[in-house]
Structure 1
Amino acid sequence: MIGFIGGSGIYDSLPLEDTEEHDVTTPYGDPAAPVTVGAMPDGTGVAFLPRHGRDHQYSPTTAPYRANIYALKELGVERVLASNAVGSLREDLPPRTLVVPDQIFDRTRKREYTFFDEGCVVHMPFAEPYCPHMKSHLAESAREASDAEVHEDGTYVCIEGPQYSTKAESEHFRASGFEIIGMTAIPEAKLAREAELCYATVAGVTDYDVWKEESEVTLQEVLDNAAANEEFIKSTVRRAVENMPEARECDCGHAVEGSVNTPTEAIPEDVRERVELLVGDYL
């Protein structure tokens, strides 16, 4: 089963058969929307979830990231493709460019970052926030399937939002050497790793943030360029799903092994029930 988290129109580009909606209730609340599950012609299962809800009713801060990831895990997903709308911090990454980042810099401050916040402590490695195999596969799929300029690797700085950056912040991020800026990479990537899911994203550049002279980011500019990027992302996701290797060749499937810090006998029963799907094999 392959999961996809992104804009609500993108899964329509996949030739899915026998689609049905699953209302999934999780220990972390309800996901942003029912999960649409279908099958590709070759039988590959695909589960789609709109990150912000069907009507974009959740902000980058309030999106139910934990429930979203948990719901995909519960439905049998092992690998997750995602898409993000981002601003560019570099002259050579203009709007309507696709970026497949390999690093994240976290500047958020009001989110729920972990499944393991009480009763069961997990200290999980996160040096490489995106699955390297999925990242390379997604970048290759973007080059093969779209007419967009594709940039592989680079750092996604994730801010809290929902406001865009100040000029001082934008210049600071540029001076730090970051490539793109957005609001939704965190905690999604962290939670996917805690759930032992392969995870990578294709980011569509919508604007130059606010650092570039005579370029003041507006919602309308973002929406217009996001609509143009959507066609590139649709074709990328379709190619990535169709050509996905059958077996995972990475370490994501046992990323939490050796990271549970709380002795099993000290974990309360209700907590153990809540995290059983995630770390039951290690308790």
Structure 2
Amino acid sequence: MIGVIGGSGIYDMNGLEGAEWREVNSPFGAPSDLILTGTLNGTPIAFLPRHGRGHAHSPSTVPYRANIDTLKRLGVTDVISVGACGSFREAMAPGDFVIVDQYIDRTIQREKSFFGAGCVAHVSVAQPTCTRLGNACASAAEAAGARVHRGGTYLAMEGPQFSTLAESRLYREKWACDVIGMTGMPEAKLAREAELCYASVAMITDYDSWHPDHGEVDVTAIIATLTANAARGKEMVRALPALLGEDRAPCPDGCDHALEYAILTAPDARDPGMLARLDAVAGRVLNRVAE
């Protein structure tokens, strides 16, 4: 089952067969919105607007844990994150798509893990995205007419303000980042904890503030580019079922077994209340231990 998290400008998904907006409850709170479910060419799809329809959530108030948890509860195995971003590279121009493969997390106000006191776990995010899924997104985006860059480092900032010129230069020149956005983290970390394959498609809308010929970020220009990107992003999603195939093979990167050796808390020291909240996210491992 493919889960799609739509960012700014992508608040619905047309063309789903049997489309229905569904309420899904999570012990981590309410997700950003109802979840649109249906099928594309026989493949189950679950679509969630990250900011909610009407764009009610800022990057800092998006309920990231509830969003990932509800997708997992629905049976999602593969998550495609689609969102707007700024570019630090001349060659990565507004309108281009970047298949993100690395992150630098500068967010400071968000819950970043499903685990904690009562059940401690440490997962690896050395390679935070799924290669198989990212390659499929790249091929689908190219087929939709987008110019695609395969690989890029995403600077996740807190927002909601855009970067200062000094910050933009730092991220570009010293930290060697390629794009900047406000929602890539902790979403990618949480997807890994939930053993979901995760790919991030960053749709470039601007050059942040470093570019001498473009100056500060202009929201009006961003919206115009966002509209064109959103149409290609939806076409990309529609092409994914055919590329991914009907059979869900084990992930070659091991995303679907990220918790195999990650939980450190001894079974007799685990908090029952915490375990109940983790029934969807970590049920595969916790149920096996219980048995």
**Fold equivalence (TM over 0.5):** yes
1:55 is displaced (CA, Å) by 1.2
The match for 1:172 is 170
1:99 is displaced (CA, Å) by 0.8
> Which residue identity lines up with residue 211 of structure 1 in the other structure?
W
The match for 1:12 is 13
The RMSD of aligned alpha carbons is 1.4
With the length of structure 2 as denominator, give the TM-score of the two structures.
Answer: 0.93
Please say if residues 11 and 53 of structure 2, whose CA atoms lie closer than 8 Å, have aligned partners that are also in contact.
no
1:264 is displaced (CA, Å) by 1.3
The match for 2:227 is 227
Write out per-residue CA displacement over residues 154-197 of structure 1, whole angstroms, 9 at most, x where no aligned residue. 10111000000001100001112111000010011011111101
The match for 2:25 is 25
With the length of structure 1 as denominator, give the TM-score of the two structures.
Answer: 0.95
The match for 2:158 is 160
Unaligned runs of 5+ in 2: 287-291
CA–CA distance in 2 between the matches of 1:221 and 1:124? 39
1:9 is displaced (CA, Å) by 4.3
Say which of 254, 264, 270 aligns to 2:273.
270
Please say if residues 11 and 234 of structure 1, whose CA atoms lie closer than 8 Å, have aligned partners that are also in contact.
no
Residues 233-252 of structure 1: pairs in structure 2 closer than 5 A: 233-245=233-245, 246-248=247-249, 249-250=251-252, 251-252=254-255
Say which SS state the counterpart of residue 21 (structure 2) adopts: strand
> Which residue identity lines up with residue 31 of structure 2 in the other structure?
P
> Which residue identity lines up with residue 285 of structure 2 in the other structure?
Y
Please say if residues 20 and 36 of structure 2, whose CA atoms lie closer than 8 Å, have aligned partners that are also in contact.
yes
1:242 is displaced (CA, Å) by 3.1
> Which residue identity lines up with residue 60 of structure 1 in the other structure?
P
1:214 is displaced (CA, Å) by 3.7
CA–CA distance in 2 between the matches of 1:152 and 1:31? 30
1:142 is displaced (CA, Å) by 1.2
The match for 1:77 is 76
> Which residue identity lines up with residue 155 of structure 1 in the other structure?
T
The match for 1:3 is 3
> Which residue identity lines up with residue 275 of structure 2 in the other structure?
R
Please say if residues 131 and 200 of structure 1, whose CA atoms lie closer than 8 Å, have aligned partners that are also in contact.
yes
Residues 25-174 of structure 1: pairs in structure 2 closer than 5 A: 25-41=25-41, 43-146=42-145, 148-174=146-172
Write out per-residue CA displacement over residues 72-124 of structure 1, whole angstroms, 9 at most, x where no aligned residue. 00000000111010000011111111111111111111111000022111110
Say which SS state the counterpart of residue 177 (structure 2) adopts: coil
Please say if residues 99 and 138 of structure 2, whose CA atoms lie closer than 8 Å, have aligned partners that are also in contact.
yes
1:10 is displaced (CA, Å) by 6.3
Please say if residues 10 and 233 of structure 1, whose CA atoms lie closer than 8 Å, have aligned partners that are also in contact.
no
Seen in structure 2, the aligned counterparts of structure 1 residues 30 and 166 have a Cα distance that, compared at 3 Å, is same
Unaligned runs of 5+ in 1: none
Seen in structure 2, the aligned counterparts of structure 1 residues 12 and 277 have a Cα distance that, compared at 3 Å, is closer
Does 2:247 match 1:281? Answer: no
> Which residue identity lines up with residue 235 of structure 1 in the other structure?
E
